[in-house]
Copies of this chain bind each other. A is one copy, B any other.
Amino acid sequence: MQALAELQRFTPFKALAGDSQTLLAQGLVTKQCGSADMALHKGQPVSGAYVVLAGRLRVFSLSPNGTEATLYFIDPGETCVLALNCLFNDLLYPAWVQAETPSTIALIPGAVYRRLFEREPAIQNLTVHTLSTLVFRLMSELELVHSSHHKQRLANFILMQSASDGVLHMTQQQLAQHLGTTREVVARLLQEFVARGWVSTRRGAIAIKDLFGLRELVSPGAS
């Protein structure tokens, strides 16, 4: 099957025993998401484990007043841990998931995943490791949120998310949404960054000019 072959490009699924492979193949479904499609809604019951095969998903929370904030991204080969979480605890999904770019997602039904978990050490490790990673990301995010101003968070976001050429292709509106703030705040802060010669802005993108200036702002003294 096509989907199974795709899935087996990624480590933990390569090493499964023969009958586990069959089990996996039986229930596997793939799902295509166009850019900006919602993959999962908040409050939706979770039917299985999600593994991203291609593209990129964005997990974010949406507050009553309309501001959203990105929690983290899921890249190919990674699984959506929140879904795992819900799977093992019978919870409703606690956030929103949207495709950043057109994406392909493999969906392993809950029952199948649980059986795999019982018998395959590789899946056990994958599960624990994935959960751990998420915990770590959330901790970092949480620490970041209440230990720093928007100024620092913006600098950090630019540093972390810019492509290897130091350019971040994103409108200020999107940037504001990722940080859970408004466009004006982003514009004001960027204006200051530009004045200091740290970045340059143009329509739809931001280019880093002084990496160390930004770094110094994010973690002062850590040179």
Contact = CB atoms under 8 A, between A and B. Distances in A.
A132 interface: yes
**Oligomeric state, in copies:** 2
A121 interface: yes
A121 B118 contact: yes
A140 B71 CA distance: 12
A142 B129 CA distance: 21
Given A127-B128, A128-B127, A145-B146, A85 B138 contact: no
Pick from A82, A135, A140 the residue with the most CB of B within 10 Å: A135
A87 to B, nearest CB: 9
Contacts of A212: none
A110 to B, nearest CB: 14
Interface string A34-50: 00000000000000000
A208 B84 CA distance: 38
Q: How many residues of A sit at the interface, in one of the four size bands?
A: 35 or more
Interface stretch (A8-16, A57-65, A160-168): A57-65
28 contacts: A61-B143, A63-B147, A63-B148, A64-B147, A65-B147, A67-B146, A67-B147, A69-B146, A81-B135, A82-B135, A82-B139, A84-B132, A85-B136, A88-B128, A89-B129, A89-B132, A89-B133, A91-B136, A94-B139, A117-B124, A118-B121, A124-B124, A127-B128, A131-B131, A131-B132, A134-B135, A138-B138, A141-B142
Interface of A: 61, 63-65, 67, 69, 71, 81-82, 84-85, 88-89, 91, 94-95, 117-118, 121, 124, 127-129, 131-136, 138-143, 145-148, 180, 220
